[in-house]
Amino acid sequence: MTQLIWNGLFVGSFYALIALGYSMVYGIIKLLNFAHGDIYMLGAFIGFATLSSFGVIPASMSITALLIVLLLTMIITGGIGVGIERLAYRPLRNSPRLAVLITAVGASFTLEYGVSAIAGPNPKVFPVRLQGETFDVLGARISAPQIVLMAIAILLMLGLNSYIQRTSMGRAMRAIALDSKGSLLMGINVNKVITWTFFIGSALAGAAGVMAGAYYGKIDFLMGFIIGLKAFTAAVIGGIGNIKGAMLGGLLLGLLEAFGSQWLGGEWRDVFTFAVLIAFLTLKPTGLLGERVTERV
Amino acid sequence: MSENVDTSTAPRRIGKPASRFSALFESKQLGWAAFGIAVVFPFILASNYAMNIATTAVIFVLLASGLNIVVGYCGLLDLGYIAFMAVGAYTAGIVSKAWELPILFTIPAVLVMTILAGLIIGAPTLRLRSDYLAIVTLGFGEIIRLTANNLTITGGPSGIYGIPGIHLFGMNLSNPVPFYYFCVVFVSLLVLGSARLGKSRLGRAWRFVREDEDAAEAMGIHTYKVKLAAYIFGAIWGGLGGMLFAAHLSAISPQSFVFLQSALVLMAVVLGGMGNTRGVVVGAVVISLLPEFLRDMGNLRYVIFGVVLILVMVLRPQGFWPARAFEVEKSDDEEGPGGGTKGTRRDRRKTASANSATGENA
């Protein structure tokens, strides 16, 4: 039981990290960034490439090396996210929604098969595999790397939260989410803020990618597809557009999934998750923390 | 308003085609020409390989015309369209194997199952914003594939084998060439059906919803019902495509229904020109034949697909061969300093609506 809860929270913290990017972008420009899951995949591959270029890393150094790679990857994936926004989404800012959604699918496709063309379609084994002793806490087996990774995830989320609540850029983001035209009139550089949003969201997804690669040890070019969907589910559960909701939704989805797969069997895990998504959209489309927004015409 | 309009006298087109060239492309005989090409094709090239590819292309045309109803006419993005094909294929396969029925007798079961699938996925999501529909259909596609992978009735990962071919009036149509002809006729009828649907009253309601949902609602269109209808028609077309697919390959497995396939169908609709049946047919043929020519490019061809998808949306969002408006052209509703072009556009729109008004009163 405690084992299940712990596993759920651990996986959930990954979902939450990715869901944050989804939710931020959606909250600010009402765009479903399908390519977001692929940024996560890209993060894993960039981490893989940089770690491989380091050569052999002694086991004692693996955490430090991982942290350096994590930072580097966050910067690169953030940049790529900004690039995608610039090339694919910005020209369509005022287009019908359908066009933007199709562009997002195109961006996701390009990333997936671009990586598979460069790195090859076969799964890669991550050069650093986090291993460590396990301890027993209340009957759950918890390993040291799990604690480290979860601590990183929580730190990133807390950092993001205070960034959005405390800094002027964060205030600008919230303002644009409320009323983008109004914020433009009040002197906020909307394009710059949107660029930043994409940067932060993509950096977080990239971080999640490196962490997942280091933990699970295997990466492949389609790994972002399912997790992107799950992150979206997490964002919907928490209330899309709501930062705290995304974190809550991620953890909750992790828990639901852990219990669901225990109950139905592991092969039904993804089916269960998407069924949860559909159920949520039917019963409570605003999510747990989301507010009912009336669409302005 | 639409209640009292006699559609027979409604204006067919606004304005004349721009040139003789485009007049050629809009002629009514084009559909017959395409049908003729499809009929003549086996006389030119009848190797098993060519017939196999041609049949696949014809089935792909059916899928694209079905997705065109959802995406093109109604403007709802469906990213899991292949799920309906999977439902159709598995229903046809399971039913025909279990009761040893000819595969055409499974059509009622296929219809029931696909409509049910359309309702399950459409009913909760179509009340929400269209973005939700896109991602939920993506999830639904995965649900169907994983379910097929996990259940024993669907044969698990190895799928179903030995699905019977088509038998009609005592004739065995399972050989490549007869089966190809059967597909051509079957698909032509359904493509024609989708084109006629697009011109029906329901079709006009779909386009209205696509252009401006709130205005459509205000005009008395029950947008939810109309969208659900589009969704269900799309599901039926997809399910019948799946049935043909099952009969064609005689074996189906979950690997045939991955997201990539949905994306390719979407690609055909978007490139061909959303809402224009002819464009979509051409797009489907191109998309299904292109991989045969680009075989040695490997995965790079999908990168190109992705880039093309973005470029088309940025540079030519209406597709290569867009639908010409039967009604008033969509106006630009964005604010901002309007240039001279905008004025003329608005004038044209005014005259166009005047035309249509007189046309409707006549």
Which token pair is A79?
A: 């940049």
Q: How far is CA B203 from the centre of its chain?
A: 14
Count of other CB atoms within 10 angstroms of residue A166: 10
Q: How far apart are CA B16 and CA B227, in angstroms?
A: 31
Residue B20: pLDDT band with limits 50, 70, 90: low
* Amino acid A263: pLDDT: 83
CB A190 within 8 A of CB A183: yes
Encode pLDDT of B77-127 as tens digits.
888 899 999 999 999 988 888 887 778 888 899 999 999 999 988 888 887
CB A163 within 8 A of CB A88: no
Question: Is the CATH number of domain A1-283 1.10.3470?
Answer: yes
**Closest Cα to residue B163, out of B94, B226, B234, B115?**
B94
* Amino acid A32: pLDDT: 83
**Highest-confidence range of A200-204, B3-7, B314-318, by mean pLDDT?**
A200-204
Q: Which residue has the higher pLDDT, B69 or B152?
A: B69
pLDDT for B7 beyond 60: no
pLDDT for B334 beyond 70: no
Tell me how many residue pairs between chain A and chain B have CB atoms under 8 A apart.
130
CB B160 within 8 A of CB B93: yes
Residue B272: pLDDT band with limits 50, 70, 90: confident
* Amino acid B347: pLDDT: 41
CB B266 within 8 A of CB A105: yes
Q: Is A183 helix (H, G, I), strand (E, B) or coil?
A: helix
Mean pLDDT of A98-102: 83
Q: Is A222 helix (H, G, I), strand (E, B) or coil?
A: coil
Mean pLDDT of B190-197: 90
b/e map of B305-344 (b: 16 or more CB within 10 Å)?
bbbbbbebbbeebbbebbbbebbbeeeeeeeeeeeeeeee
Count of other CB atoms within 10 angstroms of residue A283: 8
Least confident window among A218-227, B146-155, B283-292, B334-343:
B334-343
CB A6 within 8 A of CB A142: yes
Mean pLDDT of A207-233: 87
Which token pair is A176?
A: 């644009």
Q: Please check whether residue A190 touches B, CB under 8 A.
A: no
Residue A211: pLDDT band with limits 50, 70, 90: confident
CB B242 within 8 A of CB B159: no
CB A170 within 8 A of CB A163: yes
Element (H, E) at A167: none
Contact B139 A229 (CB under 8 A): yes
Contact A106 B307 (CB under 8 A): yes
Mean model confidence pLDDT for chain B = 78
Which token pair is A213?
A: 């690669």
**B210 contacts in chain A (CB < 8 Å):** 98
Which token pair is A6?
A: 């712990």
Q: Which residue has the higher pLDDT, A165 or A136?
A: A165
Measured in angstroms, the CA of B124 and the nearest CA of chain A are apart by 5
Least confident window among A30-39, A73-82, A230-239, B3-12:
B3-12
Mean pLDDT of A121-127: 82
Element (H, E) at A219: strand A218-219
Sort residue A38 into left (φ over 0), alpha (ψ -120 to 50) or beta: alpha
Mean pLDDT of B262-275: 85
Encode pLDDT of B202-243 as tens digits.
998 998 888 888 888 888 888 899 999 999 999 999 999 999
Percent of chain B with pLDDT over 90: 17
Best to test chain A binding among B135, B207, B267 (most A CBs inside 10 Å) = B135
Measured in angstroms, the CA of A297 and the nearest CA of chain B are apart by 7
Q: Which residue has the higher pLDDT, B258 or B355?
A: B258
Q: Please check whether residue A268 touches B, CB under 8 A.
A: yes
**Closest Cα to residue B165, out of B222, B96, B65?**
B96
Measured in angstroms, the CA of B247 and the nearest CA of chain A are apart by 28
**A87 contacts in chain B (CB < 8 Å):** 310
Encode pLDDT of B45-56 as tens digits.
778 788 888 888
SS3 per residue for chain B: CCCCCCHHHCCCCCCCCCCHHHHHHCCCCHHHHHHHHHHHHHHHCCCHHHHHHHHHHHHHHHHHHHHHHHHHHCCCCCCCCHHHHHHHHHHHHHHHHHCCCCHHHHHHHHHHHHHHHHHHHHHHHCCCCHHHHHHHHHHHHHHHHHHHHHCCCCCHHHCECCCCCCEECCEECCCHHHHHHHHHHHHHHHHHHHHHHHHCHHHHHHHHHHHCHHHHHHCCCCHHHHHHHHHHHHHHHHHHHHHHHHHHHCCECHHHHCHHHHHHHHHHHHHHCCCCHHHHHHHHHHHHHHHHHCHHHCCHHHHHHHHHHHHHHHHCCCCCCCCCCCCCCCCCCCCCCCCHHHHHHHHHHHHHHHHHHHHHHC
Helices B82-98, B259-272: axis angle to 10 degrees equals: 120
